[in-house]
Amino acid sequence: MVSSPSRKRLSIGIVGGGIGGVAFAVALSRDPSLDVHLFEAAERFSEIGAGVSFGPNAVRAITRLGLEASYRRIADSSPAPFEDVWFEWRRGSDDAYLTATLAPGCGQSSVHRADFLEAIVANLPEGIAQFGKRCVEVEQDSEGVTAHFADGRTFTGDILIGFDGIKSAAREHVLPPAQYGDLGPFWSGTYAYRGMIPTEQLEAAMEAKGADKRLALVPQMYLGPDRHILTFPVKQSQLINVVAFITDRATPHPQLPEGEEWVTSVTQEELLGVFDGWGAGSQAILDCIPEPTRWALHELPELPHYRRDRVLLVGDAAHAMVPHQGAGAGQALEDAYVLASLLTDKACDRTNAEEVLAAFETVRHARTCQVQRTSHEAGDVYEFAGVGIGDDEAKLIENLETRYDWLWNHDPGDDVAAARRELGWETHAAPRGSDGRQA
């Protein structure tokens, strides 16, 4: 059993050691007055998946978390003069250029998930993380909160933060099914075929198919009815991350076949069949993926709230979304920065920690729900199913050029300021980010 020493200002348990949970723990660990414990179900830190991209808002959160140097060492970007390109958009049937979405000063800032997690972990002090700790139950009372783990151990502290992903155990405590019904993950109707291709191999394949070689190097999105393909570089541009999507829109609420795994290996023949008749660029890409994996993309409904007294859901535990705006990891990092800023404020202690969690939820809930909703809508737009847009290319171009502005222009420091106002902390000096600016 692990419990909190009373000499500390606040005892915090974190369930889940993914990108968001570790970044949050690192930020808290810089405050010696906090007692911080991170519990990870696996036997070591690990990430599934391949590439992950970050918009300007996510890079801003990384900087505020004091992790920019770690990030910059491994982050990829597009080659000049395309460094501001988030994606070029093309017609899947013939590779015809439609438009580009620009993220000035950021572009398609991407990393390999495992590399990024490793880079963040390097900042985590010894003794904070414990492994083999799968949370199975949470209970709380007026004195504290206790997490029960599958190995029979427990943790008791002042607050518990559920960074434990889309299959969160903490979520059932915050939103008991008997009271709220099933608010767990559901299949989005979309499959994502994934693969990684050596950059030189893809360049050669593009040339062999008569496609422009630059399609291998600059982030691309190929669009078509109920399907789209994206590519962007990772691993210092040594590899190209590929995700090819197909969505079932034949029924309002498609169901995954009984017993089907979320992730499964499939044949290249299946993948090529899904995109039969697409252009030379698409064919070159798919020809280079001999052993694709197929992911059934799940998401969460918009939850009515994220907090129950001493327990708070954040990241994918609260707002898991489809990846169509490259926004899921970014929202987890925004959560980590905002919450860490509040908990490390000297005005926060065990007597008002619940109010702090409530203020966090107040300033974050509407935004994260909107990111969930618009991420799903973005997939519709890419696949010619956007409401009022369809396959009208003029409307499609107009939408793609501007739809991310509200998402990317957000400053999580504004959320911190709003939460401080909610708490009546305006008279306290606002915490400063690692870049020295006031949050």
Q: Mutual orientation of helices 199-208 and 280-287 as an angle, nearest 10°?
A: 140
CA distance 369 to 299: 12
Residues 6+ apart with CB under 8 A from 368: 318, 319, 331, 335
Considering only CA atoms, which of 52, 54, 50 is closest in space to residue 107? 54
Q: What's the rounded Cα separation, in Å, for the pair 98 and 256?
A: 33
**Residue 63 phi, psi dihedral angles, 5° rounding:** -65, -45
207: Cβ contacts below 8 Å, ≥ 6 apart = 213
Instruction: Choose, from 194, 294, 310, 437, the residue flagged as catalytic.
Output: 194
String of b and e for 80-116 (b: at least 16 CB within 10 Å)?
eebbbbbbbbbbbeebeebbbbbbeebbbbbbbbebb
Residue type, position 113, single letter: R
In the numeric block, the tokens 């609260």 are attached to: 318
Neighbours of 354 (CB within 10 A): 17
At 346, is the secondary structure helix, strand, or coil?
coil
Question: Has 194 been annotated as catalytic?
Answer: yes
Q: How far is CA 25 from the centre of its chain?
A: 17
Catalytic residue annotation? 194
